[in-house]
Structure 1
Amino acid sequence: MATLAIGDAPSLVDQQWINRLVRWHNNELPELRKLLDYYEGAQKLSYMHPELVDTLDERVRQVVINWPRLVVDALEERIDLQGFRLGGQPANDIELDHVAQYNDLDAGYQQAHVTAMVMKRAYAIVGSNPRAADAKYPLVTIESPLEVHVELDPATRRVVAAIKRWHDKLPDDQVRYYLTLYLPDYTVTFVVSPERGGYVEVSRDDHGLGEVLVVPIVNRPQLWAPLGTSELADVIPLSDAACKVATDMMISAEFHAMPRRWALGFDEDDFTDKDGKKVSVWQTIAGKIWSTSKTKKDDGAEVGQFAEADLTNFHNTLRALATQVSTVSGMALHNLGYSSDNPASADGIRAAEARHVKRAERRIKGFETAWERIMRLVLLVRDGSVPDSARWMETVWADAATPTFAQKSDAVVKLYQADKLVPRRMARRTLNFTQAQILDMEREDREDVTRAMYDPASEYGVKPTPEPQPATSARAPVPAGAGPR
């Protein structure tokens, strides 16, 4: 078994923070896991009687209409983080972009937003880079609320303490449990030691920065819920109802969509297979062929069938539930799979999506506060202080309405040509060109200007032969109208 160098037990203050945060985190975990189950489509079937569930065998399983995932993903797809700007400091902007690229935040921010929308919040943890060659790139990791929990100052709503709990498995399959405690002046990691009967210290970082290096990325914070609310809160009851209706529809299809048979004058022992064994209830109901030795004339037996049932009532109920989901989520009904035979016009589609776009813009306002704090912590960890200019940092987001490239290009060209209301670099950023692409464009612009001012071919190329000029007389020209008198 691998050994691990261990140190002291937690101090009294550290142990108090650990007990407090672990207790609160444990109280919240069941709700967070339930929200995640709904997003993953792994929730239990609601509104169905337990006896009916016990009666049905594996032939009928729950039908999951995963509207919770659709509601979250459709909203997240409108939220694209493009970078950070300090204003008038392009070199610092490039450095922040490099930090984001180093930490793969172009993918990490999407995971953070999805997690926050589902489970109320995600977290980002900032720390120094253990690799000396990459010290100018502090580490930024996106964390799950299933592992991280924080406590906020009631007055300032800033993080005053945080924990992260996780575990790993050793080669001998033994599980080792860790806990990291984040406080304003230090970060300390503990491991559970069965030998000592509690936590023991394994690493410590006395950074002395005066900041907890954990930032919650909160979805829809409220005065009564500063750590956020889930986008699924209003959708879960409707999703439960839709899953119940869809499951009922499949059960009805099994029992009633095909012609239902009836029989008079029989008992259960009369239904047997070709080997004389008694058939099951499902074989009796759904079997294609029934055979019996009884006859109507001799035994008073009679067999017949009812007409098959129409399942339209289930379709109408599902559409009514989809309409309610569209109402509470701001999504257009066509995004839920319901559309008319006559396609809507482009203006009609934009009008139907206007509320959803506005909702995405509201979420952006909430998320950008967290991302700005994260990048300020990056500067604090890297440089030991945060410059005043970074306090007014801005995040750059793509247009939540996702206009076409042609529409955006037309608008940018008009602004650029209208007395240069938008400078060239801003115009290119508006068209979603990356920082690297913009730098390549500017380099090519400088090369074009250099060619226009100085053509090397004039110095080193073949000299053009001058064209011959017509011969002229040495006599001075005579003014027009002048002649011998």
Structure 2
Amino acid sequence: MIAQMSAKLRRSAPLDKLNDAYFEGDQRLEHIGIAVPPELQVFETVVNWPRTYVTEVARRQKPKSIIMRGQSSKKKALEAAAALQEGFDANNLTSEIRLLNTEKMVYGRCFMTVGANEDDDEHPLMSVESPTQMSCLIDQRRRRMDAAFRQYHTEDGTRVGTLFLPDKTVQVVAGRKGWEVDTVGGDNGVDEHGLGRVPVVLFLNRRRLARWDGVSELKDLIPLTDAAARALTNLQVALETHSVPQKWVLGMSRGDFVDKDGSPIPVWQSYYTAIWANQASPDKVKVGQFTPSDLKNFHDTTNHYATLASSVTGLPFRYFGQNTANPAAEGAIRADESRLIENAEEKNDEVGVGLGWVLALYERVRTGQWPEAGKAIAFEWRDPATPTKAEEADAIVKLNGNTPVLSREGSWDELGWDEARKDRERRYFEQESVDPMLSSAAEELREGVDLKGDQE
């Protein structure tokens, strides 16, 4: 099983490396079919549209709250959600989910694992795993994971791995004869957890039926990025050669070029020299310059590629540097971002299902029992549209008009407050509800009743 999953990881490594290079903006022009001479490599220009696209979508995928559905009462639902939220916060998943979303879009897949926490038994570990270090085996018939394998190199170069199976997790190390169980002291390298399923959740980007590798979000954008890189590199070369008009001269040799002191100019190709002096006969020398070219065609070409990239990604054209003088109104911004918003919402739905499975595994490890059937764990996400305080406040006021639609805490949800902020506001309202004068009168009344009782 380890050999099979290792081979699978090796097969995906070249494409993973390519996608990573495009996301980081590290691809070289020779990789895209341009043989750039060494003396012109300084002009290489790569515009990093892939990072712009992925980062903008991931930035809009922010979890808001956890909902435990199917509970018999509101109190139980709140208690269950609070326990899950505590584990969520203990594992810093607010920041980790951002990494999950980014890696999933770059590589087309990502993983999360759940396991016991040696330092804190009450809060098992939920970890995001790099797809470049992990692979899995899927049972096509049952559509379930049979095994997963994570491997990496330690600081001293040792190759180690973790094999995740339905009933146990095995720590292994690469030896001379292949993979061996990694035993350290009294630890036999095997954790018999007995979960009945692999404690790993696979997240796929652009999921397709019967396909378990996912598709990188950069796939459609990479060709346009390459085309723009070619155009911009040619623009850089043209800019350098046309920023100062090219000169031509007839009737002179290299030795005829001298500076103002009569010394020979050492570099013949130094076309930036403002003044040329020569010792040749004036009637035999003809000097002139070529008419500089208009570089507008490069600008139009680059803008055309940017337009195509906008159509492929759904990012508004202004994200590619095309800004208007006046900022758009709030409604116009939302309409312009409609495809971007829907893209983020669809990805939130897919990621939310996977995170629900992760939290179900967390509850199993924490309590020893699975959540009851039909009581799904769901995620609420913040609105992926560009937020404005005025727009949010106006919507809440309108919803709470003559016939209120939202409760006070429902309004807080619409504002995107987390549970800690809500608790703080509840305490503030409780303090404001206490009138000092009424409290004093009530205290005097209680004291009078107590005195009367003592007298009787």
TM-score bracket, normalised by the shorter chain, equals: 0.7 to 0.9
- Over 3 Å counting, the alpha-carbon distance change for 1:83 and 1:252 in structure 2 is same
Match of 2:118, as an amino acid?
P
Note the 1:243-392 alignment, pairs <5 A: 243-266=229-252, 279=267, 283-288=269-274, 290=276, 292-297=278-283, 300-341=284-325, 343-388=327-372, 391-392=375-376
Q: Does 1:29 align with 2:17?
A: no
- Return 5+ residue gaps in structure 1 as ranges: 1-16, 464-485
Q: Does 1:136 align with 2:122?
A: yes
Greater shift in the superposed pair: 265-274 or 337-346: 265-274
Per-residue Cα deviation, 1:46-82 (whole angstroms, up to 9, x for no partner): 66642xx125245x33111111111111112221112
TM-score, normalisation: structure 1: 0.82
Match of 2:148 among 158, 162, 181: 162
* Equivalent residue, structure 2, for 1:93: 81
Measure the CA separation in 1 of the matches of 2:170 and 2:203. 22
Greater shift in the superposed pair: 256-265 or 24-33: 256-265
* Equivalent residue, structure 1, for 2:450: none
- Over 3 Å counting, the alpha-carbon distance change for 1:453 and 1:366 in structure 2 is farther
Q: Does 1:228 align with 2:210?
A: no
* Equivalent residue, structure 1, for 2:417: 433
- The alpha carbon displacement at 1:286 in A equals 4.5
Per-residue Cα deviation, 1:319-360 (whole angstroms, up to 9, x for no partner): 111100110111111121113446544433322211211111
> Contact 2:172–2:180 (CA<8 Å) still a contact in 1?
yes
SS in structure 2 opposite 1:240? helix
Measure the CA separation in 1 of the matches of 2:411 and 2:294. 58
- Over 3 Å counting, the alpha-carbon distance change for 1:136 and 1:55 in structure 2 is closer
Match of 1:124 among 108, 112, 134: 112
Residues paired across the two proteins, number: 432
> Contact 2:163–2:171 (CA<8 Å) still a contact in 1?
yes
* Equivalent residue, structure 2, for 1:10: none
Match of 2:80, as an amino acid?
N
- Over 3 Å counting, the alpha-carbon distance change for 1:214 and 1:287 in structure 2 is farther
Match of 1:114, as an amino acid?
T
Match of 2:164, as an amino acid?
Y
- Over 3 Å counting, the alpha-carbon distance change for 1:68 and 1:130 in structure 2 is same
SS in structure 2 opposite 1:63? coil
Greater shift in the superposed pair: 361-370 or 419-428: 419-428
Note the 1:155-194 alignment, pairs <5 A: 155-169=141-155, 174-194=156-176
SS in structure 1 opposite 2:174? strand
* Equivalent residue, structure 2, for 1:5: none
> Contact 1:295–1:302 (CA<8 Å) still a contact in 2?
no
Aligned-residue CA RMSD (Å): 2.7
TM-score, normalisation: structure 2: 0.86
- Over 3 Å counting, the alpha-carbon distance change for 1:277 and 1:262 in structure 2 is closer
* Equivalent residue, structure 2, for 1:219: 205
Match of 1:436, as an amino acid?
A
Match of 2:45, as an amino acid?
V
- The alpha carbon displacement at 1:451 in A equals 4.4
- Over 3 Å counting, the alpha-carbon distance change for 1:346 and 1:436 in structure 2 is closer
- The alpha carbon displacement at 1:434 in A equals 1.2
